[in-house]
Structure 1
């Protein structure tokens, strides 16, 4: 499928806007926020926050953030609190938070956390001498960030940690993204997350938007009644492409206006 620009997708947007129960599920980094060198400094752009607020206030419309970030980190960067109407799916759809409910669905066990801590400690030692490479710990694994590294250092960091995980945790899942390789001890995917959220709210149509390789799982899984949006360049299964978080925010505001 060749993704089209928003101005060529008016009919598609109108179709999902007219659905009975709509789920709007969105990646965060590079989608609602700009990609930044320090991950925890990412914040949603104001226009996106306004559009999500309008969507959440529209009739029979549910908003969800679906991220590879741990749920705890996602809540920080999304400035999300217990009064929020937005659903959250963190760690690629392994852990969830739902409006009006207490607690987190899918927390790791103490044994899983102990193994994670041991491997992440070792990984940190393996990349300590490589400029710009660092380890981000997550609830169900860790990531090797190389955005600030030269190509040789980035390749060395990924190879060293690949070897570690292949030796010590060969059943862990490996994912690649923009300047990051992630390893996780539980299976999850944004396609599963979107499906679970859609089932939960009884959605008759889904809008999903993302900017990275891991978002393509969810984009490929969308049905004919749904709408996929790719933010930025790259091969995609999405029907619509926008160039930036600002352009996505404008599309979401248009959808909210039509929905309202």
Structure 2
């Protein structure tokens, strides 16, 4: 069973803050062989601040506006890849001209990496029903996303209780078979035990384009590390936060994500494709 810790660690010194390296990033864009950008974005903690109630999460107005502006540029392909269900993340971002992937890339428009989605839905439902019975803490929420599930415990402030919740989830998932757990910031994700993650979803997007793209991805969670590793060394990974990361750069929070996206809209795409070529 796959597992990762919830602890936060100091960022390795080798991962610079992107806003201190903008000139170097611009030079990297200017010298890249590709003249098209693939921009992948996480949702929670990247476009939208983390909130105690997951159903209340919304992208900041600034991020929504700048993603909209970027979507109108030529020579850029944008995909929002979230742990949320596909329809949920699409509705929350609400920007046309952007592609979406839900459930960590397990939900893609018109295709599925799952050999038997109905069997997975049944397993997820069974696991969620059992967790609802065995976890009785009012600060814990079990979210059934049909082919994955998320156990949220952000509102649980007692470490002994959170440890008990994680232990129960591990046991129930192991008993269910065919599923695996991964951990993020105050959550446990329950997913099919197949070789597919956000990194594989990004590879799937990139393979669809006939033209070579420079891949760039911004995300904050442990599940986004799969993308950072998948696009290395040519691609540009940007980790939101101070955790240890395989990303190329880091930013401090959702507000700095806005700054990076605005730089792309104002300067970065011009550096990549040549002056004047990034306009609609």
Give the TM-score normalised by the residue count of structure 1: 0.89
Q: Describe how 1:75-86 pairs up with structure 2 within 5 A.
A: 75-79=90-94, 84-86=96-98
Say if 2:117 and 2:147, in contact at 8 Å, map to a contact too.
Answer: no
The answer to whether 1:133 aligns with 2:145 is no
- Residue in 1 that maps onto 2:68: 53
- Residue in 2 that maps onto 1:16: 29
- Residue in 1 that maps onto 2:123: 115
- Residue in 2 that maps onto 1:220: 229
Say if 2:123 and 2:176, in contact at 8 Å, map to a contact too.
Answer: no
Q: Describe how 1:200-219 pairs up with structure 2 within 5 A.
A: 200-201=208-209, 202-219=211-228
The whole-number CA distance in structure 2 between the counterparts of 1:229 and 1:24 is 11
What 5-or-longer segments of structure 2 have no aligned partner?
1-11, 270-277
RMSD: 1.9
Aligned residues: 249
- Residue in 2 that maps onto 1:147: 154
The whole-number CA distance in structure 2 between the counterparts of 1:43 and 1:126 is 31
Shift of 1:116: 2.0
Say if 1:135 and 1:142, in contact at 8 Å, map to a contact too.
Answer: yes
The whole-number CA distance in structure 1 between the counterparts of 2:65 and 2:35 is 22
Given candidates 196, 204, 213, the residue that maps to 1:196 is 204
- Residue in 1 that maps onto 2:172: 164
Say if 1:16 and 1:227, in contact at 8 Å, map to a contact too.
Answer: no
Given candidates 83, 94, 101, the residue that maps to 2:106 is 94
What 5-or-longer segments of structure 1 have no aligned partner?
98-103
Say if 1:91 and 1:139, in contact at 8 Å, map to a contact too.
Answer: no
- Residue in 2 that maps onto 1:251: 260
Say if 1:133 and 1:145, in contact at 8 Å, map to a contact too.
Answer: yes
Shift of 1:235: 0.4
